[in-house]
Homo-oligomer: A and B are copies of this chain.
């Protein structure tokens, strides 16, 4: 039981603030342990002879200051700022790796340039000319874009999904996507009354043995695939299955959409050709974005596709938001063209490699031996499948009480829910934090496993009455 001194009614400090200070001091000193639950407001109010709203006000202040995290229906838990939550929940690089100085320099160059006035005027629905040409030239050099391809700059990759749905499958035609997949992709195609079919993703990417019959059965209009470091699984398709995938999809008459927003973040091994590159007539639609590499708050992505598709997407884009923000396009263009993006990417690769290795090592060391996990060669995420009967969604609360969070499989399911699945986003954390966090998760999962075993032993013996 928490020992709080009764507040002093004669003090100049309001009662709630005295309670707040008293609890805060105990959290900071370690007297109240990190992760422990504060008493319910009613209980503490009763024991101190105070009004319950006074206690609530104190708890709210603690929460707003970051000393406590509230969970609806479960109470308030101490979360000492110094020992802040280890979050495996967000697929993004660490803020410490963020190239703020380079951003400032780039942005200053752009706004001081003679072009600034033009940049701030209305732009083209297709995108800022210099950026479009730069990205298309790069894709041509790489061999990904052909002569018949064109480019559309979108307000991030999310808008590219949105426009593809609106232009290519407006009436809810069938779409095949990976399962699990990020909600931003699933939800766009789920909005319409259309049929969305999830194709399982294994350790080597989308399962071709499941894809082939699904294509024959469903006659999809679109097949959307992320061959590099798929989110959430981190899986990468090997060369052989890329060629087969292209062949299967193309021969069915479906349009292949390749999402490649993590492709530039390969930490191990040699880069593989894009699906679009393997596609003889370059009919594939390729999506890319700056968001995972540079500044997520600047919403700039792009689509490279045969000219006829780009034309239709551009018309839809115009009536969606006229055009993508010009300032951000100009800043990202300069960031790329000046070589700063490539320098920054190299730093990200170094840090990413270290973190990826730490994550895999920690999974090996701490997860229950029956757990399965992917071993990505890049990107920001790996996927864990806990052994039955563990449910990653149910275990999240226990993990958060211990100061670690992740996203359970249910966020990513399409046709099939995987209760044991969970995503570990490792790119935002330093190796030692990854190790600490995975150790905690391992303990939570093993404890749950123990309990499940005990329960199943109980189940198998007659009840003692």
With the chains together, A123 CA to B155 CA distance in Å?
13
A328 neighbours in B (Cβ, 8 Å): 325, 327-328
Smallest CB–CB gap between A289 and chain B, Å? 11
Closest B residue to A110 using CB positions: B107
With the chains together, A92 CA to B123 CA distance in Å?
13
Asked whether A134 is an interface residue with its Cβ less than 8 Å from the other chain, the reply is: no
Asked whether A6 is an interface residue with its Cβ less than 8 Å from the other chain, the reply is: no
A98 neighbours in B (Cβ, 8 Å): 117, 120
Asked whether A242 is an interface residue with its Cβ less than 8 Å from the other chain, the reply is: no
Name the segment of A54-62, A173-181, A225-233, A316-324 touching the other chain: A316-324
Asked whether A347 is an interface residue with its Cβ less than 8 Å from the other chain, the reply is: no
Name the segment of A291-299, A352-360, A391-399, A438-446 touching the other chain: A291-299
With the chains together, A372 CA to B186 CA distance in Å?
54
A323 neighbours in B (Cβ, 8 Å): 299
A187 neighbours in B (Cβ, 8 Å): 319
With the chains together, A184 CA to B155 CA distance in Å?
18
With the chains together, A155 CA to B321 CA distance in Å?
6
Closest B residue to A189 using CB positions: B319
With the chains together, A107 CA to B154 CA distance in Å?
23
Residues of A371-423 at the interface with B, using a CB-CB cut-off of 8 Å, are none
Most-contacted residue by chain B among A297, A324, A325, A326 (CB, 10 A): A297
User: B103, A321: Cβ atoms under 8 Å?
Assistant: no
With the chains together, A423 CA to B349 CA distance in Å?
55
Asked whether A448 is an interface residue with its Cβ less than 8 Å from the other chain, the reply is: no
User: B95, A116: Cβ atoms under 8 Å?
Assistant: no
Asked whether A104 is an interface residue with its Cβ less than 8 Å from the other chain, the reply is: yes
Asked whether A243 is an interface residue with its Cβ less than 8 Å from the other chain, the reply is: no
With the chains together, A103 CA to B156 CA distance in Å?
24
Asked whether A108 is an interface residue with its Cβ less than 8 Å from the other chain, the reply is: yes
A150 neighbours in B (Cβ, 8 Å): none
Closest B residue to A324 using CB positions: B299
A155 neighbours in B (Cβ, 8 Å): 155, 299, 321, 325
Given A98-B117, A103-B120, A117-B98, the answer on whether A322 and B299 have CB atoms closer than 8 Å is yes
Residues of A111-129 at the interface with B, using a CB-CB cut-off of 8 Å, are 111-112, 116-117, 119-123
Given A188-B319, A319-B158, A331-B327, the answer on whether A95 and B121 have CB atoms closer than 8 Å is yes
With the chains together, A348 CA to B123 CA distance in Å?
22
A326 neighbours in B (Cβ, 8 Å): 297-299
With the chains together, A121 CA to B93 CA distance in Å?
10
Residues of A300-328 at the interface with B, using a CB-CB cut-off of 8 Å, are 318-328
A435 neighbours in B (Cβ, 8 Å): none
A284 neighbours in B (Cβ, 8 Å): none
Given A155-B155, A297-B325, the answer on whether A320 and B162 have CB atoms closer than 8 Å is yes
A327 neighbours in B (Cβ, 8 Å): 107, 295, 297-298, 325, 327-328, 331
Smallest CB–CB gap between A202 and chain B, Å? 28
With the chains together, A121 CA to B191 CA distance in Å?
27
Smallest CB–CB gap between A14 and chain B, Å? 26
User: B299, A321: Cβ atoms under 8 Å?
Assistant: yes
Asked whether A100 is an interface residue with its Cβ less than 8 Å from the other chain, the reply is: yes
Asked whether A274 is an interface residue with its Cβ less than 8 Å from the other chain, the reply is: no
Query: A residues bordering B, Cβ < 8 Å?
Result: 92, 95, 98, 100, 103-104, 107-108, 111-112, 116-117, 119-123, 154-156, 158-159, 162, 184, 187-188, 191, 291, 295-299, 318-328, 331
Q: Which 7 A-B pairs rank lowest in CB-CB distance, beginning with the nearest?
A: A297-B326, A325-B325, A155-B321, A120-B295, A159-B321, A120-B297, A122-B296
Q: List 6 A-B contacts (CB under 8 A).
A: A95-B117, A162-B320, A162-B321, A297-B327, A299-B321, A328-B328
List 4 extra interface pairs beyond A100-B116, A187-B319, CB under 8 A.
A107-B111, A121-B295, A122-B296, A158-B322
